[in-house]
Amino acid sequence: MEFRIAVLPGDGIGPEVIGEAVKVLDEVGERFGHRFDVQSGPIGGHAIDRYGTALPDETLEACYNVDAVLFGAAGGPKWDVSDAEERPEQGILKIRREFGLFANIRPAKSHPALYAASSLKPEYLEGVDLIVLRELIGGLYFSKPKKRWSTKTGKRRGMDTLKYSEEEIARVVRVGFELARSWRGKLVSTDKFNVMESSRLWREVATEVGEEYPDVELEHILADNLAMQLLRNPAQFDVIVANNIFGDLLSDEAAMLTGSLGMLPSASLAEAPGAAGSGKQLFGLYEPVHGSAPDIAGQGIANPVGAIYSTSMMLRYSLGLSEEADAVERAVEGVLAEGYCTPDLARGGGEVVGTRQMGDLITGSL
């Protein structure tokens, strides 16, 4: 089959890890007889330097003409100026919003070969296999007013707003129930019900939507408590649904259960994915969770697994290729089981390899 994909490597380690992801994709094409027509485009800090905007029109247009978008990372110290008009991150935030990609799926699965790389003891990591489902286009990131100003006496003020409508809550919570239903039947919804109005609405709506899913067990856990539970007993969790900011924080935390932030992939969708193997195809944006990591950019040592796992999520959700997605995931797991790792995972010993070599090993075991 033939598919069109927009590849947006972005800044920092983005181009390095996306290079490996595309290599894996090409190999999948060879092995399974598909054609992936890849179009790339500028985004992020580099795009600001060249075009004066983090999301040039041509990049956005490319996204409209494809089945899925694979994105690397955006940002870096060069563009970290607090009063900058345009920030690199705006590029990716605009794409998420433009396409209504409200459901951000971030799976975190522990792997025995990487237990030693995690900051938690191995006995806590056994059986960890969870999803942080993050609301991606509302809440604290996007609600208005959002501004900076100075008072008459010259004192600076800054403001963000956390606002949700019941529709916004219901649609993401519903995706949570769908994911939980097709899996182990447990959904945790997180909020700060005890302090925040938007959270009280969140809990109310989650409970109402839950009535449509009597087969799924719904539990509400306060976000601060959940942050603690994720370290105390992470294996108890299956699907966790959270608002934009809580999901951002909790998914970075969950990443450490896998050994490294470099391991985590993500899929951003505008509706619930079909059941595995249903072949349903949805437009989606796929990105590793790690970000641009400017401290290690250009050194060839970044972990490409988050980007490669993002590619397997793309194969599964947007291209309807679940057999191919399984093959990629098996290849990654096989290479890790053999003891290969990138420096971010090296605490546990094993043979340390660079970004390219890791990509080659995975490609070679497909």
Residue numbers of the site for ligand IPM (CB under 6 A)? 75, 89, 93, 248, 289, 291
Of how many residues is the chain composed? 366
Residue nearest to Mg ion (CB): 248
Task: Give whichever of 88 and 176 is closer to ligand IPM, judged by the CB atom.
Answer: 88
Per CB under 5 A, 287 contacts Mg ion = no
Q: What values do phi and psi take at 38, rounded to 5? A: -100, 125
- The residue (of 140 and 352) whose beta carbon lies closer to ligand IPM is 140
Candidates 168, 248, 324, 344; binder of Mg ion (CB under 5 A) is 248
Q: Compute the distance between CA of residue 315 and CA of residue 31 in angstroms, rounded to an integer.
A: 14
Structure tokens at 355: 């970004």
* 119's tokens: 């900051």
Residue 284 interacts with which of ligand IPM, Mg ion, none, CB < 5 to 8 Å by class? none
User: Could you say which of Mg ion, ligand IPM, none residue 11 binds, taking C-beta under 5 to 8 angstroms by partner kind?
Assistant: none
* Cα(201)–Cα(245) distance, integer angstroms: 16
What's the min distance (Å) between Cβ of 313 and ligand IPM? 14
Contact 269, 121 (CB under 8 A): no
Name the β-bridge partners of 73: 10
From the list ligand IPM, Mg ion, none, which binds 14 (C-beta under 5 to 8 Å, kind-based)? Answer: none
Residue 44: which region, alpha, beta or left (left: phi > 0; alpha: psi -120 to 50)?
Answer: left
Q: How many residues bind Mg ion (CB under 5 A)?
A: 1
Q: Kindly list the catalytic residues.
A: 141, 192, 224, 248, 252
CB 136 to ligand IPM: min, Å: 7
294 binds, options ligand IPM, Mg ion, none, Cβ within 5 to 8 A by partner type: none
Residues 6 or more apart whose Cβ sits within 8 Å of residue 49 = none
Nearest distance from C-beta of residue 291 to ligand IPM, angstroms: 5
CB-nearer residue toward Mg ion: 20 or 248: 248
Dihedral sign computed on CA atoms, order 193, 195, 199, 201: positive
Q: How far is the CB of 144 from Mg ion (least distance, A)?
A: 22
Nearer to ligand IPM, 130 or 289 (CB): 289
**Nearer of residues 132 and 331 to ligand IPM, judged by Cβ:** 132
Q: Which does 89 bind (CB under 5 to 8 A by kind): Mg ion, ligand IPM, none?
A: ligand IPM
Within its chain, how far is the Cα of 202 from the centroid? 22
Contact 313, 266 (CB under 8 A): yes
Phi, psi dihedral angles at 295 (to 5 degrees): -65, -25
Give the pairing type, strands 267-269 and 284-286: antiparallel
Q: Which amino acid is at 149?
A: W
**Which residue ranges make up the site for Mg ion (CB under 5 A)?**
248
